[in-house]
Amino acid sequence: MTISSSLNAGVAGLSSQATRLAAISDNIANSATYGYKRVEADFQSLVISSTGGSYSAGGVRSTTQRLIDERGSLVSTNNATDLAVRGRGMLPVARASEVEVANGDAQMLLTTTGSFRTDDEGRLVTESGLVLLGWPANPDGTVPEFPRDTSDGLEPVQINVNQLTGEPTTEVALGVNLPATETEAGSVGTSQQLSIEYFDNLGKSENLSIEYTPTVPGVGASNEWTMTIADSAQGGTVIGEYTLTFDDARASGGTLLNVATVSGGAYDGVSGSMIVNVAGGPIEVTIGTLGAADGMTQLSNSFAPLSISKDGSPVGNMTSAEVDANGFVHASFDTGITRVIYQVPLVDLPNPNGMVTLDQQTYLPSPGSGSFFLWDAGDGPTGDVVAFAREESATDVAGELTDMIQTQRAYSSNAKVIQTVDEMLQETTNIKR
């Protein structure tokens, strides 16, 4: 019985070392595979209870585990949609074959890196057929709230390079200085003209024509102007008229003292703006708060549009797309604007090593990994998304070769045990002769 158990232990040792060698071989074979996670073999002794003072060898059992939470170093690339996760978290992907069938939602898989490029339909896909998933943004670039404990809201990230887009103007901020000398008695009272381009809902260029007319008093200085706003899209119709009174005190001279609304949207003293309605809808015109020096002013004898800012843009073609550190996919247009079109979340689990390992460095959540949660990149426990980068294999070739030497010696030793048992059994057989 004891000799037989020795033979079984030797066979178990050979099997376990063969398993370890298989893991080492897999690691070395994938030492240049982006995103590869190393496999580790572990051994547990097997103890058989002894009776009658004799000892029975139980041998050894081997188990393997893929260390998904180990990360390789990041290397730079020249492709904007080469993505890698720096830190905790994984990118959601799906098989292109399942996406193309469109038979319900494709199954969400997870990976830590991928070289994504557009296919014939503009989807970001790897050469191995993995489609990047994300939440679609609204037309204004905001991302609505989606459930975080399910993949139901995720869609293939699709970049339409033939897309045209334009943004209507909704805000205009005016920083204009009016000449104080024009509101003094005896001045000519010359009106000042200002034209500001804006873009309507169809991306067409229109103009707000703003006229500043001074109030000339009989004596002294009025420090008062009438601001009239007209819309070119409505044939020059006046859409707002306001009386601006400026302060001439020592500490606050030249700043707005009062704004009286004659027509159009009422002046809001808190925001320093009023709402006027052009042909395509409302536009907020900011002239500054009372007493502030960063909006409309009345100083000296010069008319100076110091700062005029606005939002909106004309129609432009999409030229490129990039993913930022927070997972937002930004589309760039030839008009110089960028717009968020998707958000790619990072998926985190309590036990990443408990996931099911699949082909192409992808993993599937399982009961052993715990429930997943979709985080904004950089939020919670997750790291960030790095564009122009790939994650290298987690294999340390030098370490694997060292383990291979140890495995080879251990295998030889177990083979020697079997050889010795064979010789002992032969001696036992020879006793009968």
pLDDT tens-digit readout, 250-261: 999 999 999 999
Q: What pLDDT is recorded for position 182?
A: 94
- For residue 40, is it within any domain? yes
Task: List the domain range (segments joined by +) for residue 302.
Answer: 169-311
- Give the mean pLDDT of the chain: 91
Q: Which two tokens stand for residue 373?
A: 């949660």
Question: Would you say residue 248 has pLDDT above 80?
Answer: yes
Question: Would you say residue 82 has pLDDT above 60?
Answer: yes
pLDDT tens-digit readout, 259-288: 999 999 999 999 999 999 999 999 999 999
- For residue 249, is it within any domain? yes
Residue pair 136/124 in contact by the 8 Å Cβ criterion: no
Q: Closest Cα partner for 212 from 198, 230, 234, 197? A: 230
Q: What is the mean pLDDT of residues 68-81?
A: 94
Instruction: Phi first, then psi: give them for residue 81, nearest 5 degrees.
Output: -105, 20
Q: Provide the whole-model pTM.
A: 0.74
Question: Would you say residue 1 has pLDDT above 60?
Answer: no
Q: Please say which residue of 311, 343, 368 terminates a domain.
A: 311
SS3 labels along 386-423: EECEEECCCCCHHHHHHHHHHHHHHHHHHHHHHHHHHH
Neighbours of 183 (CB within 10 A): 23
Is residue 128 within a helix (H) or strand (E), and if so which, with residue range?
Answer: none
Distance between CA 404 and CA 428 in Å, rounded? 36
Question: Would you say residue 212 has pLDDT above 80?
Answer: yes
Residues 176 and 301 occupy one common structural domain:
yes
Residue pair 281/146 in contact by the 8 Å Cβ criterion: no
Cα separation of the two ends of the chain:
22
Q: What pLDDT is recorded for position 164?
A: 67
Residues 78 and 62 occupy one common structural domain:
no
pLDDT band at 58 (very low <50, low <70, confident <90, very high): confident
Residues 264 and 299 occupy one common structural domain:
yes
Residues 234 and 177 occupy one common structural domain:
yes
Residues 285 and 181 occupy one common structural domain:
yes
Residue pair 322/387 in contact by the 8 Å Cβ criterion: yes
Question: Would you say residue 299 has pLDDT above 80?
Answer: yes
E-strand stretches of 218-361: 224-231, 237-246, 256-263, 273-278, 281-286, 297-298, 304-310, 313-323, 328-333, 338-343, 346-348, 356-358
Q: Please say which residue of 286, 311, 336 terminates a domain.
A: 311
Residues 6 and 27 occupy one common structural domain:
yes
Distance between CA 270 and CA 289 in Å, rounded? 7
Residues 62 and 40 occupy one common structural domain:
yes
Residues 157 and 185 occupy one common structural domain:
no
pLDDT tens-digit readout, 309-321: 999 888 878 888 8
Q: Closest Cα partner for 33 from 387, 364, 385, 391? A: 391
Q: Please say which residue of 276, 311, 346 terminates a domain.
A: 311
The domain tally of the chain equals 3
Q: What is the mean pLDDT of residues 4-12?
A: 82
Question: At 194, which CATH number?
Answer: 2.60.98.20
- For residue 370, is it within any domain? yes
- For residue 184, is it within any domain? yes
CA 21 to the chain's CA centroid: 40
pLDDT tens-digit readout, 151-190: 999 999 998 766 667 789 999 999 999 999 999 999 998 9
Instruction: Indicate the SS3 state at residue 429.
Output: helix
- For residue 316, is it within any domain? no
Residues 214 and 348 occupy one common structural domain:
no
Q: Closest Cα partner for 133 from 324, 393, 342? A: 342
pLDDT tens-digit readout, 403-424: 999 999 999 998 998 888 888 8
Residues 6+ apart with CB under 8 A from 132: 83, 91, 92, 93, 114, 116, 123, 124, 125, 156, 157, 344
CA 12 to the chain's CA centroid: 49
% of the chain residues with pLDDT over 70: 97
pLDDT tens-digit readout, 354-377: 999 999 999 999 999 999 999 999
pLDDT band at 141 (very low <50, low <70, confident <90, very high): confident
pLDDT band at 4 (very low <50, low <70, confident <90, very high): confident
376 burial type by CB count under 10 A (0-12 exposed, 13-18 middle, 19+ buried): middle
Q: What pLDDT is recorded for position 339?
A: 87
Q: What pLDDT is recorded for position 319?
A: 82
Q: Closest Cα partner for 274 from 307, 243, 301? A: 243
Q: What pLDDT is recorded for position 224?
A: 96
Residues 174 and 303 occupy one common structural domain:
yes
Residues 205 and 126 occupy one common structural domain:
no
- For residue 321, is it within any domain? no
- For residue 320, is it within any domain? no
- For residue 96, is it within any domain? yes
Q: What pLDDT is recorded for position 203?
A: 84
Q: Quick one: DSSP state of residue 73?
A: P
Q: What pLDDT is recorded for position 52?
A: 65
Q: Among 107-116, 225-234, 335-344, whose mean pLDDT is lowest? A: 335-344
Residues 101, 104, 105, 107: is their CA dihedral positive or negative? negative
Residues 91 and 136 occupy one common structural domain:
yes
pLDDT band at 429 (very low <50, low <70, confident <90, very high): confident
Residue pair 394/36 in contact by the 8 Å Cβ criterion: yes
Is residue 26 within a helix (H) or strand (E), and if so which, with residue range?
Answer: helix 2-29
pLDDT band at 3 (very low <50, low <70, confident <90, very high): confident
